[in-house]
Chains A and B, each alone.
Chain A
Amino acid sequence: MVFFERQRSYSYGKAIRAGLLPDLGFSLIEPIVAAALTAIVLAQIASLFDVSRRAIVFSNQIDQADRDIHLALDVTREAVANYNWCVNGGAVNSTCNGVTPLNRVAFYNPPQANFQAFQNACRVDSQHQADRDPVTRSLNTYINNTLSGRPIVNNVTIRVIEMDSKEIHRFRTMFSRTIETPYGNRTLNRGFYLIPPVALWCP
């Protein structure tokens, strides 16, 4: 207190000596300046909090979009793994008397007629296009018409770009998820490769 009084008496020495102003208290300008400074500091802190909050929200949304894409990837891998050739042309979730390409202690043994058709399909040159490959054409259709953009894959868009390696019938795909963020709409894209196990049976 001594410190403040000394300061004020230095600034307003004459007025105090004349008895026109009290010894203690602030002038009008001081609380206004203090309030303004406090307001500026608080506003800055608040803006920092806001920046931080938006960053957290954005981070969470990107995390969720990434999880959506990986869920879609798992669902798609499951479909790819269950794609079988027990009917001519192949189908997802079809069974050959309970035998699938994934059976560990089993072998892929479709009826002889279907096996011949399968071998013939393996011989066709797909020219790197999934929809031209008789072995996996139905799988390509399934991904486009049953999975892509549907709730089962959290509305993730799945696009088969090409069959980039026809020797092993490998699909190059793009998974996309668009989300609204505090910074506008963002689209998360992830490229993945898929190899249908049934295609490995191609002799």
Chain B
Amino acid sequence: MLLILLLVLTVLTTTMSLTSRTTAGMAMNSVQGKLRLARDAAENGLVISIGELNKPANRMLVGSVPLNHWATNDFRVRTDGNDVTVAPNAVIYPRDCMIFTNESPWNRIYQTTEEALLFATNNPPRRIMRNSGNDQYFRVLGIKLTDAARNPINRETGLAANNAFSFLTMTVEGIYSAAVAPTTAAPNPINSVHYTIQQEYQLAPRCCSTNRYPVDEGNAQPACAAAGLAGNFKSEWMARSISQAGIFKTNQ
């Protein structure tokens, strides 16, 4: 009787372990798939978010407003002879620099966006969750600035240089969550899968309305002085990925 019991137990434990192994394999497959989706969400988030800073309206932020003041509505920038308070929909882009005004309102694409202003905040509840479709979400965890020698630029007072390269590091979290949508207030719903990417971009200054980057030519003058433009013209900064391929590239 004991032997039979042992045999039955052996068969049972073998079957159970096989079942467990199979189930675990299938579960891992599922988790891997979700992780891939989370990674893609993070990649997309990076492209979307750095693209946000490259929109005409936001190109002047890194060199005009210290990071800690992007979302505080208490910082003023001189534009067209007046002080403009930095806030969503404010225009800090000089009138002389605008080449595209076929919009309604006419200066729509030159209005600073709230999405960009919130990148710089260190206040976690304001890391806005974005839905990129297909149960994929992303949020910018933060950005930081460093100068040409990769020394940190002061978040309270520092600005990107207008006569040299600077660097911007952006951290984005991608999330895949099929059951419950993550939100800004509750970013970690049960069974959500997360993947974080950090990427450094080069900030190249140029004078607005021109298409040359003086620093690319080794010119250490401020961008507008190098371009021979004065008056209301100001520098703007384009974020370029180090590999320069499609702004973000996986195989380099």
Fill in one digit per residue for B130-158: 1 if any A CB lies within 8 Å of its CB, else 0.
00111010000000000000000000000
**A122-B250 contact given A48-B18, A81-B245, A107-B216, CB 8 Å threshold:** no
Name which residue of chain B comes closest to A164, CB basis: B48
Residues of B within 8 A of A89 (CB): none
B124 on interface, CB distance cutoff 8 Å = no
Q: 8 shortest A-B CB distances, which residue pairs?
A: A77-B246, A81-B245, A59-B29, A52-B22, A193-B47, A102-B244, A167-B55, A80-B246
**Cα A123 to Cα B99 with chains together (Å):** 7
Fill in one digit per residue for B24-36: 1 if any A CB lies within 8 Å of its CB, else 0.
0110010011001
Q: Which of B19, B100, B247 has the most CB of A within 10 A?
A: B247
A residues engaging B (CB < 8 A)? 3, 7, 41, 44-45, 48-49, 51-52, 55-56, 58-59, 62-63, 66, 70, 73-74, 76-78, 80-81, 101-109, 115, 119, 122-123, 125, 165, 167-168, 170, 189-197, 200-203
Name which residue of chain A comes closest to B45, CB basis: A193
CB distance from B116 to the nearest CB of A (A): 12
CB distance from A173 to the nearest CB of B (A): 10
B21 on interface, CB distance cutoff 8 Å = yes
Does A77 lie within 8 Å of B245, measured CB to CB? yes
**Cα A18 to Cα B18 with chains together (Å):** 48
Does B15 lie within 8 Å of A44, measured CB to CB? yes
B82 on interface, CB distance cutoff 8 Å = no
Does A107 lie within 8 Å of B132, measured CB to CB? no
**Cα A66 to Cα B33 with chains together (Å):** 9
Cβ contact of A167, chosen from B56, B244, B247, cutoff 8 A: B56
Residues of A within 8 A of B209 (CB): 203
Q: Which of B29, B54, B210, B211 has the most CB of A within 10 A?
A: B211
Fill in one digit per residue for B209-252: 1 if any A CB lies within 8 Å of its CB, else 0.
11111001110000000000000000000101000111111110
In addition to A44-B15, A45-B18, A170-B48, 8 A-B residue pairs with Cβ atoms within 8 Å of each other are: A77-B246, A77-B250, A80-B246, A168-B55, A189-B134, A195-B51, A197-B240, A200-B240
Can you list 17 A-B pairs, Cβ within 8 angstroms, ordered by A?
Answer: A3-B3, A52-B21, A62-B29, A62-B33, A107-B212, A107-B213, A123-B99, A123-B100, A125-B103, A191-B44, A193-B47, A195-B47, A195-B54, A197-B245, A200-B54, A202-B99, A203-B210
Per the 8 Å Cβ criterion, residues 1-52 of B in contact with A are 1-3, 11, 14-15, 18-19, 21-22, 25-26, 29, 32-33, 36, 40, 43-44, 47-48, 51
Does B213 lie within 8 Å of A170, measured CB to CB? no
